Amino acid sequence: MQNIFLEITIIICLAAFVAVIFRWLKQPIILAYILTGILVGPFGFFNLSNKDVLQLMAQFGITLLLFMVGLELKLSDLKSVGKVSLLTGIGQIVFTSLIGYFISLALGFSVIASLYICIALTFSSTIIIVKLLSDKRDLHSLYGKISVGFLLVQDFFAIILLIFLAGFNNLNGESLSVWTFLVTLTKGAILFGGVTYLSKTLLPKMVDVIAHSQEALFLFSLAWAFGLAALVSSPLIGFSVEIGGFLAGLSLANSSENLQIASKLRSLRDFFITIFFVILGMNLTFSNINAIMYPAIILSLFVLIGNPIIVMVIVGVLGYRKRTSFLAGLTVAQISEFSLIIIFLGNKLGHLTGDVVTLLTVIGIITFTISTYMIVNGNKLYLFLAPVLSIFERKHGKKDEVLHSSKELSAIKNHVVLVGGDQMGESLIDVFEAMNKEIVIIDFDPEIINKSEFKNVHRLFGDISDTEIRELANIHSAHLIVSTIPDVEDNLILVKEIKNKKSNVTVVVTALDSRDARILYSEKADYVVLPHLAGGRQLAKILDKDLNGLNELKAKDQKYL
C-alpha cells in the first residue's frame, strides 16, 4: 500500500512540475500530463510496479470526464447553436472524415485503422478552445459563438460514436455481424430513451430534495455516476463504464443543480483525468518512431491546415466575411481529448495496435502545441494572410458586416467612435449625446449591437482590429475615439493607426493593468483608462462632495440594473 501511495505521489508531483512549465509556455495542460507519462514510461525515469491500479484510476478519470460532459450537455443545446454552427459542424465532420480516411489509406493503414484515424482527426478540443477564447475575451464575438456552436455539434457526434463503439465491448475478438450491430443499436436506443425519461421526470425532483445538503448532493452524484456506469457495463447490457458515466451525467443535465454538481466534481475529475493522460503517455511505444513520424507529420499538417480551410470554405459559402471564417477555422486546428479517448477505446477493443495509439498521441502533441499559438495570435495571422483570404469570401454575402445606420458612414465627420457597447460603453452614450455628436458604436457581439438602447446611433458589427471595420467607421474623420475594451493588442492597432497618420483625433483607450497602460502611453495614446483607478477616483469624489448624493446615485444604478 505504501508503495502505491509513493508511486502516485511521484506521478502527481512530476505532473505538477511539468504543468507549471507548460503554463508558463502557454500550452494546454493535457500536454504536460502526456509528457509526464512519457517520462515515467518510455523514458523509464521511474519503474512503476502498480500499473493496474493506475489503469483503474484512469478509467475513473474517463468516466468522470464523460459524466461532466453529459452534465453540461442538453439535447436542447443543438437547437440553440444556430444554422451556421449546425451546418459548419456537420459539414466539417463529413469533409474532414472523408479526406482523412483517404489520406490514411494512402499512408498504408488498414481500413479499420483508417476509420479510427479519420474520426479522431475530425474532433477538436472544446475545453482548450473555450479556455483560449475566454482568455482572449473573444468568447462572445461572432466567430467565438460560431466556433463554440460547431464544437458542441462535434461533441454530440463524438458521444454518439463512443456509445456505438462501447456497444461492442464484449465481442472478445469475434467478427461483427449484422445481428450484433442491430442488437447493439436497439440496446443503445432503449438505454438512451430510459435515461432521457428519467432526466425529465424522477431525477430532477430527487436532486431538488437532496440538494438541501451539499455533502449529500456530492455523494449522490458520485453514487449515481458510478452506479449507472457499473450497471451499463454489466454483461446484461454490455456497454463500457465510460458510457455509463456519460448517461449518468446526461440524466442530471435537466436538474436545476447541474452546474452546482459540476463545480463540486470538477476537481475530482481533474485529478483522475490527470492519471488517464499520464497512462496514455506511459503506454506510448517509440520503438517504431521512424515509421510513425512521416504519417504523423502528414496528418498533423492536414489538421493544422486542411481542417481550417474546410471550415473557412463552409463559413464563407454561408455568407460570412473572411475574417470571421478565418478565425473560426483556426479553432479546429487540433484534435480533441475525445480523439484520444476513441483511440484508447479502439485499442482496448483490439481494433487498433499500440502504434496507432502512439501515432494519434504524437498528432495530438503536435497540433495542441502549434494550434495554441495560432489561436492566440489569430489577429496577427489574419493581418498577414488577409490579402489571400478573399477567395473564402462571397462578394455579396458578408452576413457579419451588419451596418445599422441612417446614412453612409463615409459622409460622417467630427463624430464619436465608441469601441465596445457593453457596460462602460453603455454609460457613455448619454454623455456623447449631450455633446450633440453623431455616435458610431463598434462591437463584435451581435446581442450588444442589437440592443434597443442603441437604435438612435450608428452601429457597426465587427472588430476594431479589422482594417475594413476601421475604414467603415471613418475613424480618421472622427472627433473622439473611446475604446472600452481592455485588449492591449486591439488598442495598440487603433492608437498606432491614428497617431502614425497624424490624424487630429483624440484617442482614449482602456487597460487592465499599469503595464498595458505604459505600453499604450508609449504609443502616444491621449488617455488610458484604468478601471480600478477611475472607479476609486469617482467614488472618492462622490464621498468628498456630498454623502447624500449616494442615494441619488444608488437610484440611478438600481434603475440600470
Within-domain flag for 247: yes
Within-domain flag for 33: yes
CA distance 217 to 544: 49
411 and 383 in a single domain? The answer is no
CA distance 391 to 389: 5
> Which DSSP string do the residues of 529-558 spell out, in sequence order?
E-HHHHHHHHHHHHHHH-TTHHHHHHHHHH
For 140, phi and psi rounded to 5 degrees?
-100, 5
121 and 208 in a single domain? The answer is yes
440 and 377 in a single domain? The answer is no
The domain total for the chain is: 2
Within-domain flag for 259: yes
The reported pLDDT for the residue numbered 254 is 76
| Three cell numbers written together for 499 | 497617431
Residues 440 and 412: beta-carbon distance below 8 Å: yes
For residue 34, give the nearest of 56, 57, 14 by alpha carbon.
Answer: 14
Within-domain flag for 554: no
Residues 364 and 34: beta-carbon distance below 8 Å: yes
CA distance 416 to 35: 52
374 and 473 in a single domain? The answer is no
The reported pLDDT for the residue numbered 296 is 93
Within-domain flag for 550: no
> Which residues, in sequence order, are CB contacts of 134 under 8 Å at separation 6+?
none
Within-domain flag for 255: yes
Within-domain flag for 249: yes
Residue ranges making up the domain that contains 77: 2-391
324 and 438 in a single domain? The answer is no
13 and 103 in a single domain? The answer is yes
43 and 6 in a single domain? The answer is yes
144 and 192 in a single domain? The answer is yes
pLDDT tens for the 561 residues of the chain, in order = 557 788 888 888 988 999 899 888 878 888 888 888 888 876 666 666 777 788 888 888 888 888 887 787 665 655 555 678 888 889 999 999 999 999 999 999 998 899 999 999 999 988 788 778 877 777 767 788 788 888 888 888 887 787 777 655 544 545 555 666 677 777 777 887 888 788 888 888 888 888 788 888 889 889 988 988 888 877 777 777 777 888 888 888 877 787 788 888 888 888 888 888 888 888 777 767 778 889 999 999 999 999 999 999 998 888 888 888 899 999 999 998 888 888 888 887 778 888 888 899 889 889 988 998 898 888 888 888 888 887 877 665 555 554 554 456 666 788 888 888 776 777 787 778 777 778 888 887 766 776 656 666 788 877 777 777 888 888 888 888 988 888 887 888 888 888 887 778 889 988 888 888 888 888 888 898 888 777 777 777 666 666 666 666 666 666 655
28 and 131 in a single domain? The answer is yes
292 and 328 in a single domain? The answer is yes
**What is the domain-level CATH number for residue 436?**
3.40.50.720
Within-domain flag for 548: no
**What is the domain-level CATH number for residue 144?**
1.20.1530.20
Residues 425 and 449: beta-carbon distance below 8 Å: no
Establish how many alpha carbons lie within 13 A of residue 491's alpha carbon, considering only the half-sphere containing its beta carbon: 29
409 and 386 in a single domain? The answer is no
CA distance 414 to 410: 11
448 and 373 in a single domain? The answer is no
Task: State whether residue 350 is helix, strand or coil.
Answer: coil
CA distance 163 to 28: 27
> Which residues, in sequence order, are CB contacts of 545 under 8 Å at separation 6+?
none
Angle CA 100–131–375, to nearest 5: 55
